[in-house]
Amino acid sequence: MTTLYPLKFKTIYKDKIWGGNKIKSELNKDYSPLRNCGETWEISGVKGNISVVREGNLEGRDLKSLISEYKQELVGEKIFQRFGVEFPLLVKFIDAHDDLSVQVHPNDELARKRHNSMGKNEMWYIIQADQGAKLIAGFNQPVTKEKYQEYFDQHQIMELLNHQSVFHDDVFYIPAGRIHTIGKGILLAEIQQTSDVTYRIYDFDRKDQNGNERELHVEEALDAIDYNYYSEYKTVYDRPINQLSTLVKSPYFTTNRIYFDQPTYRDYSHLDSFVIYTTLQGSLKLIYDHHDLNISKGDAVLLPACINKVKLESSAPYKILESYIE
């Protein structure tokens, strides 16, 4: 059995009606022959989109087969007992050249009942935003299901939603049930549960290249929406350099920001989990067990649970999302 090591996977490119070219211009990823690229799936256990290792002794192996072979050595004992060979997180980069549809995702209970799937709790980290870029997260006032339906029927749903200006390094946690959309001009990293279930509520009456409007899921969304109003939807976190910042701490995943301009050591011996590094800025060396791996902006790396201690080293500032399950 090959000794496990930090794994990089072949990027899965997704052509979207709203996609642009920042995946190439900002992240240096070649999505040809696609005309544009709306999102990339960097680490995926979604059926039909299972990630494949791109380098090293395990090159060509897919993530599901690796979990089947290495079990808790790869993902952690508790996680293997809970999820089996299903990898529980999905890592993406999203480039919104145009607005995404207004949508909502079901929670675990509803997704299991309707789709035999996990629910979809997710977080966004804004890598780059054009001037004036906005997104939608939640409602801008108290709402009932009846009030929502009334506004929807009168084609005034956008008046109920919280439109928020965004800037690079902003963070949003989008729990299942929260209406949302990513607005045009935004490039972000997304960490989410392994699910591809989306209820599209409104798509700005857009038509695809064949003149067809995309399917909506208006009725399905009604039972999935969280109708509560919250005073703040953006995550507030400490932003100094050379300090670990906790962005999300949820039952589904924990995500921290590592932003350093000097070497730092990470000790995961207290964790019973894999760790995912999603690189947002800079280039660095990941040093582990007398080996090293070069990673740079746009890379996502899966650190197996059996690798407990690493050193991150660079001559310039680097910014990483560190994600795991507690």
- The per-residue pLDDT for 121 is 97
Alpha carbon separation from 101 to 61, 70, 145, 196, 206 (Å, rounded): 34, 39, 20, 15, 9
pLDDT at 207 over 80: no
- The per-residue pLDDT for 206 is 81
Which residues, in sequence order, are bridge partners of residue 260? 318
| pLDDT tens by residue, 235-258 | 999 999 999 999 999 999 999 999
Give the residue numbers marked as catalytic.
Answer: 200
| pLDDT tier for residue 2 given thresholds of 50, 70 and 90 | confident
End-to-end CA distance of the chain: 27
- The per-residue pLDDT for 303 is 98
- Picking from 22-26, 91-95, 124-128, 201-205, which range would have the lowest pLDDT averaged per residue? 201-205
- The per-residue pLDDT for 240 is 92
Q: How many CB atoms lie within 10 A of CB 115?
A: 14
For the domain made up of 243-324, give the CATH fold: Jelly Rolls (2.60.120)
| pLDDT tier for residue 208 given thresholds of 50, 70 and 90 | confident
Output the average pLDDT for the chain.
96
The answer to whether the CB of 91 falls within 8 A of the CB of 189 is yes
What's the rounded mean pLDDT across residues 258-282? 97
Residue listed under structure tokens 């990483």 = 320
The answer to whether the CB of 292 falls within 8 A of the CB of 269 is no
What's the rounded mean pLDDT across residues 17-39? 96
Residue listed under structure tokens 């997304």 = 190
| pLDDT tier for residue 8 given thresholds of 50, 70 and 90 | very high
pLDDT at 23 over 80: yes
| pLDDT tens by residue, 312-324 | 999 899 999 999 9
The answer to whether the CB of 38 falls within 8 A of the CB of 19 is yes
- The per-residue pLDDT for 210 is 79
What's the rounded mean pLDDT across residues 36-47? 97
> Which is it for strands 180-182 and 186-193: parallel, antiparallel or unpaired?
unpaired
| Interatomic CA distance for residues 85 and 249, integer angstroms | 24
3-state secondary structure the chain: CCCCCCEEECCEEECCCCCECHHHHCCCCCCCCCCCECEEEEECEECCEECEECCCCCCCCEHHHHHHHHCHHHHCHHHHHHHCCCCCEEEEEEEECCCCCEEECCCHHHHHHHHCCCCCCEEEEEEEECCCCEEEEEECCCCCHHHHHHHHHCCCHHHHEEEEECCCCCEEEECCCCCEEECCCEEEEEEEECCCCCEEEECCCCECCCCCECCCCHHHHHCCCCCCCCCCCECCCCCCCCEEEEEEECCCCEEEEEEECCCEEEECCCCCCCEEEEEEECEEEEEECCEEEEEECCCEEEECCCCCEEEEECCCCEEEEEEECC
| Interatomic CA distance for residues 286 and 181, integer angstroms | 34
For the domain made up of 7-222, give the CATH fold: Jelly Rolls (2.60.120)
- The per-residue pLDDT for 239 is 92
CATH 2.60.120.10 location in the chain: 7-222, 243-324
| pLDDT tier for residue 130 given thresholds of 50, 70 and 90 | very high
| Interatomic CA distance for residues 324 and 235, integer angstroms | 18
| Interatomic CA distance for residues 200 and 164, integer angstroms | 20
For residue 40 the two structure tokens come to 């990339």
- The per-residue pLDDT for 211 is 78
- The per-residue pLDDT for 212 is 84
pLDDT at 5 over 90: yes
